[in-house]
Amino acid sequence: MSKISSDKNIKIAVLTGGDSSERSVALQSTKGIIGPLRRRYNVKVFDFPKGTDTFLKEYKEYHLAIPILHGAGGEDGQVQGLLNTLGVPFIFSDVEAHALGMNKQFTKRIVEAAGLLTAKDKVLSIDQKFNYQRPVVIKPVAGGSSIGINIAKSQLEANKFIKQALKYSKQVLVEDYLSGEEYTVPIIEHDKQVTSLPVIQIKTKRKFFDYKSKYDPKFVEEICPAPIKSALAKELQSFALQVHRLLGVRHLSRSDFIVIKNKVYFLEINTIPGMTKESLLPKAIRAAGLDFTDILDQWIKSSIKPLK
């Protein structure tokens, strides 16, 4: 139950929608938290990009912005850069962490330098050819929600999926296919501490944890807390916390891993994870016995500044 009293004098702008391939997910995430927020604060939702002009006219009225945007334009630092320019405080990460987290290639190089294992990869641009040798995972370098991701098991499939992935990003990441157990670990800042939430095991009924698996419960089983040994859970939580700090992420993140014969491989990080009712972050928060809106309240109260 919520223990935080409401403050209707605080005006919050929720920026959502966007024009990326993840627009629908952003709108669903907004629905997941807008009700509790409105019970505590004076909240207005701006659906970008059509609501951009209105926000630019009204931004000085707001104590704080909450960017609930996934993918390009919202999770890559662009909106955060705009808010910094306007002088509007916001929750979640700043520009640099979002920009790094959105770029899967940059993120992998950073975590590899810190000693974490990742799948071998190659980055391709639109004019580069790929010589297929073994099964690979093909994904946009910048993107999320598993959109544009496929597993190729032939040269023909590789050519086809690279072309598809380039629709979502200027570059494509081609990784060796890793077959193992999939886990994800959310990280939150709570009571002035950065905390690992319970590990979630992901068992999909499809080829991999794709878009349908993430947002349609009949295709996936998400077990939280994961039924694994304590030592593995602690290792996964430690790695997720390490990645969170390496990239300078603020307030929340969620890192994905795959485990093969007791070896942990880092896959990617989400700097604004989904917040829909089916999303992994809210499930882990509930499993930890916490209230998401109370946590949001902490981030809001620590970020707002008096209006000029």
Q: Are residues 107 and 140 in the same domain?
A: no
pLDDT category of residue 73 using cuts at 50, 70 and 90: confident
What is the CB neighbour count within 10 angstroms for residue 83? Answer: 21
Q: Is residue 85 part of a domain?
A: yes
Q: Are residues 110 and 228 in the same domain?
A: yes
Torsion of CA 277, 96, 117, 148, to 10 degrees: 50
Coil vs helix vs strand at 170? coil
Q: Are residues 282 and 205 in the same domain?
A: yes
Instruction: Please tell me the predicted confidence (pLDDT) of residue 115.
Output: 97
Q: Are residues 215 and 274 in the same domain?
A: yes
**Number of domains making up the chain:** 3
pLDDT category of residue 206 using cuts at 50, 70 and 90: low
Using one digit for the tens of pLDDT, what is the confidence trace for 111-157?
A: 999 999 999 999 998 888 899 999 999 999 987 556 788 999 999 99
Instruction: Please tell me the predicted confidence (pLDDT) of residue 207.
Output: 57
pLDDT at 271 over 90: yes
pLDDT category of residue 8 using cuts at 50, 70 and 90: confident
pLDDT at 50 over 60: yes
Q: Is residue 143 part of a domain?
A: yes
pLDDT at 7 over 90: no
Q: Are residues 157 and 71 in the same domain?
A: no
| Buried residues in 247-280 as b, exposed as e (16+ CB within 10 A) | bebbbbbbbbbbbeeeebbbbbbbbbbbbbeebb
Q: Can you give the CATH number for the domain in which 125 is found?
A: 3.30.1490.20
Q: Are residues 111 and 258 in the same domain?
A: yes
Q: Is residue 136 part of a domain?
A: yes
Instruction: Please tell me the predicted confidence (pLDDT) of residue 2.
Output: 42
Q: Are residues 284 and 186 in the same domain?
A: yes
Secondary structure (DSSP) of 154-195: SHHHHHHHHHHHTTT-SEEEEEE---SEEEEEEEEEETTEEE
Structural domain range at position 167: 121-176
Instruction: Please tell me the predicted confidence (pLDDT) of residue 225.
Output: 96
